[in-house]
Each structure stands twice: as C-alpha cells, then as structure tokens.
Chain A
Amino acid sequence: MTSSGKAVVTLPADTQVLITREFDAPKHLVYRAWTTPELIKRWWSGDRGEVTLAEVDLRVGGRWRYVMTANGGFEVAFHGEYREVVPNERLVSTEVFEGAPEAEAVNTLTLTEKDGRTTLSILVEHSDQKYRDLHIDSGMEDGMQESMDHLEQVVLTLR
C-alpha cells in the first residue's frame, strides 16, 4: 500500500457519516497535525481555499474555530467545543457550520497505529438526517432523505 490514498466515506446510519484514511506516520504526529493551529492551516482547507484562522483550546469544554476563505472569495467558518480529549487517541468535539447554525454535529476522531502507520477515522453524527444530507451536499442545492449503508458496496460491485 502506498502512503497516500483516497478517503473512504460511508454512511453507517441515517444520521452518520464515517470518513477513514490511512497515513504513513505514527499517531502522535497525526494528532499533532490535527490539533496544532499553524499545522491545521496548512491542510484543513484542502484545495478549496486558505485557512485564515485556526483557534484551538484543546481541553474538555474548550472551543475551536476555523475560518476559511474559499477560492470563490467567500468566507466559511466552523466552530465547536471539545467534549473528550485523549491525546494521540481520541477526540470528541461538536461542530457547527456557521452558515447553518441550527445543525450541530458531534465528531469522534479515532487514531489507531499499526507498524508505524495510522488509521484515522472520523465519525460524524448529526441530530437529524436532513442535516447529515446537507453536510454531504456541501453546496449542492437539495438534500436527500435516505440512507445508503450498504449501497456503496453494491455500487462498487457494479462498476
């Protein structure tokens, strides 16, 4: 297996999104890159823009906030609160997209290391399926009302 790969996204339940990916680095480094503001700024926006603010108060009850200027020029911001902090292992936090503040998700980051490589998983749990769908939509205009737990596999067998 090579060091980089695709993120794998599945929908384990109507209100959930699960994102997983393996990294060629030990978990304490993944954790550091995940929680250190100057490092977050370098990866969090992906190819979609620039992170202009990354605030992290890494303790239970502490808050975080990220602001990104997207390539289109507009700003998007996210914030939340840390609920559980187990360094290098597990991080549970809430997440609100400030453009849709009624939808608060709970994210559970889990890091597991094997032979110096780390599997990262993020389980995103929304309070309602419609918010989960909006989350997946990320900019697409209408949501959908269904879950697809096994569909991914079905589709893969069909290609």
Chain B
Amino acid sequence: MARAATTADAFNAVAEPRRRQILDLLAGGERPVNDLVALLDLAQPLVSKHLRVLREVGLVEVREEGRQRLYRLNGRPLKSIHDWVKTFERSWTERFNRLDVVLAELRAEELSTTENGAGSDDE
C-alpha cells in the first residue's frame, strides 16, 4: 500500500506531537476547546490552529452546542496509518509463525534427550 504524497493528509497531520496528544485526548470522548486548552496547557490560538489542521484532514469533527464548539475524533483517516504498520507487522507474524515450528522441534528434541538420560548438550 502506497500513500499519496500530499501535504494535507492524515500522515502529516499526526506528524506533530501536540496534534497526536489532541487525538489521544479526544479518543476518550468529545470535548470543548477550553478543555483541550486546559489539558494541553497551551495557548488557545495554538490549540485552535492544531484543531484546524486536524479538521482539514477529517481527523476531528466539530459541532456547535450553545456557545461551545465541541470536538470529536473521527478515526477513519487513521486507518491508512494503521494499514501502513500492519503490512510490516504481517511479515513479522509470518516469520514468527515459522519460528514457532522450529521451537516446537527443539523442545521435542530436548525432551527426548532428557528422557534418554543423555545429559550432554548437543553442542
């Protein structure tokens, strides 16, 4: 899976540690901006700027409730990042599945050596 080389995608949006922090906070549920400002201990304009970037790539959604703007996480764009690591993970899983087979054999060998009373190691 290749990813599109655009600047305004989820990959770039999450490149910034503060924006990842915002996503982590929103993973716990919808929050008003003031909450985020307090939890992040950042100036409001900066938080708003990060939220704007996240909104542009669809990672967060906003709705108005009275005077408050409530932000929530939309995980769908993260799926591509998830997939990116998953491909790599899969190749290690395949590798380890084969290692399981080798290890089962080594265990069986060791067991039969012990049963035969042959104390010496194979090396």
Q: A: which residues have CB within 8 A of B?
A: 3-4, 6-9, 11, 17, 19, 21, 23-25, 29-30, 32-33, 39, 42-48, 135-138, 140-142, 144-155, 157-158
Contact = CB atoms under 8 A, between A and B. Distances in A.
Interface of B: 1-3, 5, 11-12, 14-17, 20, 23-24, 27, 73, 75, 78-79, 81-82, 84-85, 87-89, 91-104, 106-107, 110
B107 A29 contact: yes
A95 to B, nearest CB: 14
8 contacts: A7-B96, A47-B94, A140-B1, A142-B2, A144-B3, A150-B23, A152-B85, A153-B27
A154 B59 CA distance: 12
Given A23-B96, A25-B103, A151-B78, 16 more contacts: A6-B93, A7-B93, A11-B85, A24-B100, A44-B95, A136-B85, A140-B87, A145-B12, A145-B15, A146-B11, A146-B16, A147-B20, A150-B23, A151-B14, A155-B78, A155-B81
A36 to B, nearest CB: 9
B81 A148 contact: yes
A117 B20 CA distance: 35
Interface of B, secondary structure class, is helix
A7 B100 CA distance: 12
CB-based closest 8 A-B pairs? A146-B15, A158-B75, A46-B94, A7-B92, A43-B98, A46-B95, A25-B103, A9-B89
A23 B27 CA distance: 32
Given A8-B89, A142-B2, A155-B75, A33 B103 contact: yes
Contacts of B104: 24-25
A154 B88 contact: no
A13 to B, nearest CB: 11
A9 B85 contact: yes
B89 A39 contact: no
A145 B11 CA distance: 8
Contacts of B93: 6-7, 21
